[in-house]
Amino acid sequence: MNRIHHQRLVDQVPALFVLLIVGAVLAGCASSAGAHTAGASPTHSPALAASTPAAARIVTSRHYGYTEALPAGWRLVTQATQQWDGKGAPGYEDSVVDLFAGPGGVQAWALAAPTKESLAAYTTATIRAARAAHPSSPPQSNRAITIGGAPARLLTVIAPAGSGFLVEIAVTVHHGTAFVFASLNPSGTTPTDRPAFRKFLASITFPR
């Protein structure tokens, strides 16, 4: 792969990745009125300005309700400033996305929306939507995990197919809300990506 082609893939992956997430959530979301229009500038969470270092490591999503106890090497980049309505195609810097950065360049996004689907149906719809929208590979893996004590599925795909860019998408349904946590490293697949994202997922809790 020449340098120009590789750079184009690097530039395209964040947008492709976010669309994979959006397609997954759209497949399980209940209908809602109106469409979100992107454009608001991302802002830093007040959690970063907490009075103690320990408190600063605990991030509760303003709009989606989950709490992330940030593992070592992870930081909050920005919280969503608006709640996503389940429509449109938010970019990775959109105002409806919670964005995190981890060790070695790994990044993670989080979105959530109401759904009436079961986890099994939602996972099937996620795979179908991702493959229909983008030239991604069939899932390299689809394994059962837990997120915040709730059953979840962890999907691994290569997007675009044949590019070598690893995209991981974790989905769970908790009390009628579908949560999507996804990860990639824009520089390509590295051995540190997977364990770093596993630690991120293991640090998530949901309100009771």
Q: How confident is the model at residue 3 (pLDDT cuts 50, 70, 90)?
A: very low
Question: Smallest Cα–Cα separation from 106: which of 13, 171, 40?
Answer: 13
The pLDDT tens digits for 41-65 are 444 444 434 445 566 689 999 999 9
CA separation, residue 141 to residues 72, 153, 204 (Å): 26, 10, 22
Residue 118 φ then ψ, to 5°: -75, 165
> What is the average per-residue pLDDT within 114-128?
86
| 36, pLDDT greater than 90 | no
91-101 pLDDT, tens digit each = 567 788 899 99
Strand order in the sheet with 67-69: 58-60, 67-69, 204-205
Residue 77 confidence (pLDDT) above 90: yes
Q: Answer whether 0.75 is exceeded by the pTM.
A: no
Phi, psi angles (nearest 5°) of residue 187: -85, -5
The enclosing H or E element of 139 equals none
Q: Angle at which helices 119-133 and 3-28 pack, to 10 degrees?
A: 140
Amino acid 133: pLDDT: 58
Euclidean distance between CA atoms 81 and 98, whole angstroms:
9
Q: Considering the chain, what is the average pLDDT of its residues?
A: 73
Planar angle of CA 177, 178, 182, nearest 5 degrees: 145
SS3 16: helix
Q: What three-state secondary structure class fits 199?
A: helix
Core vs surface per residue 102-133: b (16+ CB within 10 A) or e:
bbeebbbbbbbbebebebeebbbbbbebbbeb
